[in-house]
Amino acid sequence: MTGMDLVESVWRFLCENIEQFLNKETYEDFSGEIRQYEKDPNDTGEYIVVNHLPMVRHDVVSEATINVNVHVPALSTEKMPLRRLKELTSEIMSLFIGETFIDGCYYRAYSDGRPIEDNDNTWYVNIQLKTRFNNLIY
């Protein structure tokens, strides 16, 4: 299994379940898209980007880290949109409390970072998921 396979699985899971995992108000306010690796240059609202850290395959069962970066535009009245970042981060992390089985792998929430200002007038929080997978299959 490649890192790209893992990213695609998490991306598809989030896309297929976004309406169910965000509460009604949060979902109705979500103005963006969920992407793999990079944002669409035309995105101006909120968006989520899924990517991965380099993978080392040294055991039959290996572990990898998947990043889910939640981006929210800066506010004119309040530079950091802390309330909205907290809403989206909490609801996404709730999907991965315990272990979530997707496409033959178990995913679990591992960490969430502090809000960081990005270069596109957004702030983001990095959520890291850990996954375990079997190297003998691939």
**E-strand spans in 1-138?**
34-36, 47-52, 61-73, 100-102, 105-112, 116-117, 122-134
So what's the pLDDT on residue 14? 92
pLDDT at 49: 96
Which residues of the chain have a pLDDT value below 70?
A: 22-28, 57, 77-78, 135-138
- What pLDDT, on a 0 to 100 scale, did the predictor assign at position 63? 86
Question: In this predicted structure, what is the pLDDT of residue 32?
Answer: 78
Phi-psi region of 77 (alpha: psi -120 to 50; beta: other; left: phi over 0): alpha
Q: CA distances (Å), 93 to each of 44, 75, 96, 137, in order?
A: 24, 23, 5, 28
List, in order, residues 6 or more apart from 91 with CB less than 8 Å away: 21, 22, 23, 26
Strand ranges inside 2-104, DSSP E? 34-36, 47-52, 61-73, 100-102
pLDDT in the model for residue 23: 65
pLDDT of residue 17: 83
| Domain total in the chain | 1
CATH number at residue 21: 3.30.2000.20
Query: What domain range includes position 95?
Result: 3-134
What does the pLDDT read at residue 55? 80
> Using an 8 Å Cβ cutoff, are 99 and 86 in contact?
no
Assigned token pair, 87: 């809403």
How far is residue 116 CA from its own chain's centroid?
15
pTM above 0.75, yes or no: yes
Write down the pLDDT at residue 136.
63
